[in-house]
Amino acid sequence: MDRPMDLHYTDAQEAFRAEARAWLADHAPAPRTLPSLDTAEGFEAHRAWEAEMAADRWSVVSWPDEYGGRGVGILEWLVFEEEYWRAQAPLRVSQNGVFLLAPTMFEFGTDAQKARFLPPMASAREIWCQGWSEPDAGSDLAGIRSRARRSDAEGGWVLSGQKTWASRGAFAEWCFGLFRTDPEAERHRGLTYFLVDMATSGVTVRPIPQIDGETGFAELFFEDVFVPDDLVLGEIGKGWNVAMATAGSERGLSLRSPARYSRAADRLVDLYAERLADDPVRTARSGDAVAQAWMDAEAYRLNTLWTATRVLDGGSVGPEASANKIHWSQTDLAIHRTALDLLGPEAELHGDGVDAPWLDGYLFALAGPIYAGTNEIQRNVVAERMLGLPRG
């Protein structure tokens, strides 16, 4: 296939954009009007918004029609995301399911699993959290100790152990988690990927207030929790491979679309322009950082289109996903840090009755270099798998 380089979207893609824009204009709540999704009230408000999207098949545009999507490709998904962020529509409460578990389920799930789980995921009737990290297994994920014991009599597995930092864990209905099914095997080989109903007897949830005071994540305790065989995703003992597919989505193309950063960078330039009128001397000192942040967002957009084209041409995303994660997490921080500098003494204003989008965004961005594998782990991956340096 020798198509010349072309960075224009097609007419059909532009028509899709117009349709998405019109729908969002009619339906999306005004920016920042829903309560935080990390509160019980906000969680339900965000769920209702996603149900509204799902009703008109806008919640998972890239999925096949039968599961609630529109069957469009990755480029159309990027276009939809551009419109979503342009409309400043709410954060996606279903993101762990839609952006992380779903791509993994399309790759490894049985037809029955897809039919059972994808439609309620699309409509946000069931919201998922991630049960991976443990108190003693963070960056060293393969060191997890939570166990799954075989029960032939019951036709399934019995889970025990503790998971932590489960985003949306306080309110989610389902959890996708890694458990050790073979304690004798080499540590990467003895793991299995389970889908767990949080209402199962033996599951206890302890919400953890985050740095912003809200309960964005939770500790999960499993005491003899029974999971039937049909809730194993992929093969027994192959959980690490399945998990790395999820991690690839988390770091690579699907979790953080470029539009998120392009919009934030544009708003940063707006803020700069406003502040320049008020206090030109002080504001101008941030000019270089504002331009750098805008460039970082633009570089992310172009890199994503480059990668998406490679994928559409039959290529794959390997360790580049780690480079990607380092870039988007640093970009998010740079945008918000620069905004706080522009706000100066007003940057710290927060709490009841104060709308502080930049400070909220900064607190959110601070987690970026930590979750989905710390950036230090990602640098190891880049060094070992892109540059061929020896493992330590």
Partner 1 sequence: MHFAFTDQQLEFKAAVRQVLAKECTTDEVRAAYDAPTARSPRWQTLADLGVTGLTVPEAYGGFGLGLVDLVPLVEEAGRVALPEPLATTTGIAAPLLADLATRSGSDDPRVAGWLSAIASGALTAAVAEGARPGRPVAGADGADVLLLVVDDPDGRQLHGLDAADCPVDPVSSLDPTRRLGTPGWQPSAATLLTGGPDAGALLARTADRAGVVIGAELLGLADAMVTLTASYAKDRQQFGKPIGSFQAVKHLLAGAQVLLEFARPVVYGAAWALDQGAPDASRAASVAKAYASEAALEAARVSLQVHGAIGYTWECDLHLYLKRSWALAESWGTAADHRARLLDSLLAER
Which of 113, 151, 160, 303 is close enough to bind partner 1 by CB under 8 A? 303
What single DSSP character describes residue 134? B
Catalytic residue among 126, 134, 250, 320: 250
Largest CA distance in the chain: 75
Query: What is the distance between the alpha carbons of residues 310 and 287, in angstroms, rounded to a whole number?
Result: 35
Q: Total residues at the site for partner 1 (CB under 8 A)? A: 54
Per DSSP, the residues of 79-128 read HHHHHHHHTTPPP-TTHIIIIIIHHHHHHH--HHHHHHHHHHHHTTSS-E
Which residue from 159, 146, 172 is spatially nearest to 226, judged by alpha carbons?
Answer: 159
Which residue from 127, 160, 133 is spatially nearest to 247, judged by alpha carbons?
Answer: 133
Which of 149, 282, 285, 310 is close enough to bind partner 1 by CB under 8 A? 310
Q: CA angle at residue 97 from 317 to 111, to 5 degrees?
A: 85
Which of 147, 292, 340, 347 is close enough to bind partner 1 by CB under 8 A? 292
- Within 3-32, the residues that bind partner 1 by CB under 8 A are 3-10, 13
295 belongs to the binding site for partner 1 (CB under 8 A): yes
279 belongs to the binding site for partner 1 (CB under 8 A): no
- Yes or no: say if 231 and 196 are a contact pair by the CB < 8 Å rule: yes
User: Residue 73 CB, nearest distance to partner 1 (Å)?
Assistant: 10
277 belongs to the binding site for partner 1 (CB under 8 A): no
- Within 48-77, the residues that bind partner 1 by CB under 8 A are 75
Stretch that binds partner 1, among 58-66, 161-169, 190-198, 322-330 (CB under 8 A): 322-330
Query: What is the distance between the alpha carbons of residues 362 and 360, in angstroms, rounded to a whole number?
Result: 5
Stretch that binds partner 1, among 56-64, 190-198, 250-258, 308-316 (CB under 8 A): 308-316
Q: CA angle at residue 359 from 169 to 270, to 5 degrees?
A: 125
Residue 231 corresponds to which amino acid?
A: L
139 belongs to the binding site for partner 1 (CB under 8 A): no
Which of 64, 143, 228, 287 is close enough to bind partner 1 by CB under 8 A? 287
- 235 a catalytic residue: no
The alpha-carbon radius of gyration of the chain (Å, integer) is 21
272 belongs to the binding site for partner 1 (CB under 8 A): yes
Q: Which residues bind partner 1 (CB under 8 A)?
A: 1-10, 13, 75, 269-270, 272-273, 276, 287-288, 290-292, 294-295, 298-300, 302-303, 305-306, 308-310, 312-313, 320, 323, 326-327, 376, 378-380, 382-384, 386-392
**Which residues are designated catalytic?**
250
